Structure 1
Amino acid sequence: MNKKIFLCAVLLALPLTLAGEAQARSLGSILNDSGLSPEDISGMEKAARQLYEPMGRTDDARRWSNSRSRSTGLVTLGQKQGNCVELVHRFSTVKRPEPVTFRIWRCRTAEGDWRISPGPN
């Protein structure tokens, strides 16, 4: 599986809390419904990285947009616990014009890398 598709799958599958959707859905359905392109994911990641490298303050936020796909988003630095940060993503795509919000955690490993995580240990 291509790295960007895998990243998109991880970002969208972890929370499974798309606004207004309580039932579990298949990963393929989530990816198909998101409307996010690989370029969108890259923009989301770049904006998020600016919040924790260097470490920002809680509630700092970064906007991203992709003129090609017409997707836009905002990522906000949520909680900080130990070596972990919560990132709150909110985005809209042509396919999903109503904003979608999801949260992920990234934790810094002993090697200094930031990895997607279920949360602080």
Structure 2
Amino acid sequence: MRTKILLSAALLALPLMGSGEAQARSLGKILFDSGLSPNDISVMETAAQQLFEPMGRTGDARRWSNPASRSKGAVTLGRIDGNCAELVHRVSTVKRPDPATFRTWRCRTADGAWRVSPGPE
């Protein structure tokens, strides 16, 4: 379970989009600043998976919320490039009520698994 939470949280370790420019930040700092709980990340991950498994279309979106933490957001399928899909997350938490946007990539590996990736190769 801890591995799944850390792997799911790794999607947040990719660049955080804010004030028009990407800032590379440590996973711990992103999680602390965002106010996302491990359960929030799990709910967000479930919503994201519905977009790329099976592969949706650019612009498809899923909303998510966690009543326990009052965190909420939406994930939108961005670009699709070969075996990779861009995911655009908009997240609001009690700690950070103004939505933050995270862009991440998932790529399908040769064994068919989806992995967090820096993007298409």
Q: Same fold (TM over 0.5)?
A: yes
Once the two structures are TM-superposed, the CA of residue 27 in structure 1 deviates from its matched residue by 3.7
1:70/1:114 Cα in 2 relative to 1: closer, same or farther (>3 Å)? same
Paired AA for residue 98 in structure 1: D
1:56/1:25 Cα in 2 relative to 1: closer, same or farther (>3 Å)? closer
Question: Matches of residues 1-121 of structure 1 in structure 2 within 5 Å?
Answer: 2-3=2-3, 4-8=5-9, 10-17=10-17, 19-20=18-19, 25-121=25-121
Once the two structures are TM-superposed, the CA of residue 117 in structure 1 deviates from its matched residue by 0.4
Give the TM-score normalised by the residue count of structure 1. Answer: 0.89
Distance 1:23 1:82 in 2: 26
Distance 2:103 2:96 in 1: 18
Once the two structures are TM-superposed, the CA of residue 16 in structure 1 deviates from its matched residue by 3.1
Once the two structures are TM-superposed, the CA of residue 62 in structure 1 deviates from its matched residue by 0.2
Instruction: Show structure 2 runs of 5+ residues with no match.
Output: none
Once the two structures are TM-superposed, the CA of residue 29 in structure 1 deviates from its matched residue by 2.4
* SS at 2:33 equivalent: helix
Once the two structures are TM-superposed, the CA of residue 13 in structure 1 deviates from its matched residue by 1.8
Identity of aligned residues (%): 70
1:106/1:26 Cα in 2 relative to 1: closer, same or farther (>3 Å)? closer
